[in-house]
Amino acid sequence: MPIIFEYTWMALLGLGVGFFSAGLGLGGGVLMMPAFITFMPEMGVYTAKGTSLFIILLVAITSFFRVRRLQQQRPHYSATLLLSAGAIAGGYVGAVISTRTSERTILLLFVAFVAFMMWQLTVGEPKATLKKAPLHKNSLLLLIGIAAGAIGSATGTGGGSILAPLILVTGLLPHTQMVYSATQVMIATSLAAAPAHLLAPQVYHGHYTIGHVSLGVVPVIFICAQVGVVLGARVNSGMPARRRRLLLAVVLAVVGLRMLAQLAF
């Protein structure tokens, strides 16, 4: 691949990662996994997943303070604590299991997750934020955190891609607080998964790779993501819930079709 083309697609990918991270709370992992597999197939699913999580961690940490400053009403600290604690536990377990799982199984898990979230977002009725917290709200928040961490780590999406739709579907938190909560969960998930991916047996030897993390592709994507974060944060502050659901569904549909094509070949 010509070097100019390689850096161009990395720059565009970085813009998308930053935008979807701060604008929708997706973390950008749903973009990076298909992009790495498409433009750098020699990297393989394992390294694509580990590299994706590493970049998500960096972008989530740098964007968190900007998102926090723009967030007028924040969720109660107990809610974010439960989500983050669950994400840490799930993220570690998901990373350990996925490093011992076949690439095809990881892709199948990714596609199944995308299909389920699309169905929930498009067919399921939008649920208003619960006015009165149910008795089992804390347990649900912890379980959602575990699910987000485990699936986000196993598929390389960082957890935000499952947390964001689940928050919209369950109504446990206002949709306006979704990105703020998702950013915290992405940090927790990626931190928990990082050791397993960095210490994993190296299967790709290009772009200064350590374990399952290709450090050479990180700078361009990360720097361009900072521009995307600024744009995404502005969009997030005024996006209606219904439009947010539809945009999430469209993004997931495109990603799901790309991963199905990968499975077919």
pLDDT at 225: 92
Average the pLDDT over 125-129 and give the result.
54
Average the pLDDT over 152-175 and give the result.
76
Burial class of residue 157 in the structure, from the number of CB atoms within 10 Å of its CB (0-12 exposed, 13-18 middle, 19+ buried): buried
pLDDT at 221: 95
Residues 41-72 have pLDDT tens digits of 888 888 988 999 899 889 888 888 877 777 77
In percent, how much of the chain has pLDDT > 90? 11
Q: How many whole angstroms separate alpha carbon 193 and alpha carbon 197? A: 7
pLDDT at 113: 73
- Please provide the DSSP assignment of 103-166 as one string: HHHHHHHHHHHHHHHHHHHHTSPP-PPPSS--TTHHHHHHHHHHHHHHHHHHHTS-SHHHHHHH
Judge whether residue 133 has pLDDT over 70: no
Please provide the size of the chain in residues.
265
Judge whether residue 127 has pLDDT over 70: no
pLDDT at 135: 52
Burial class of residue 103 in the structure, from the number of CB atoms within 10 Å of its CB (0-12 exposed, 13-18 middle, 19+ buried): middle
Pick from 218, 185, 163: nearest CA to 50: 218
pLDDT at 196: 84
The residue among 178 and 202 whose pLDDT is bigger is 202
pLDDT at 190: 85
Q: Which residues contact 232 (CB under 8 A, 6 or more apart)?
A: 18, 19, 20, 21, 22, 23, 24, 63
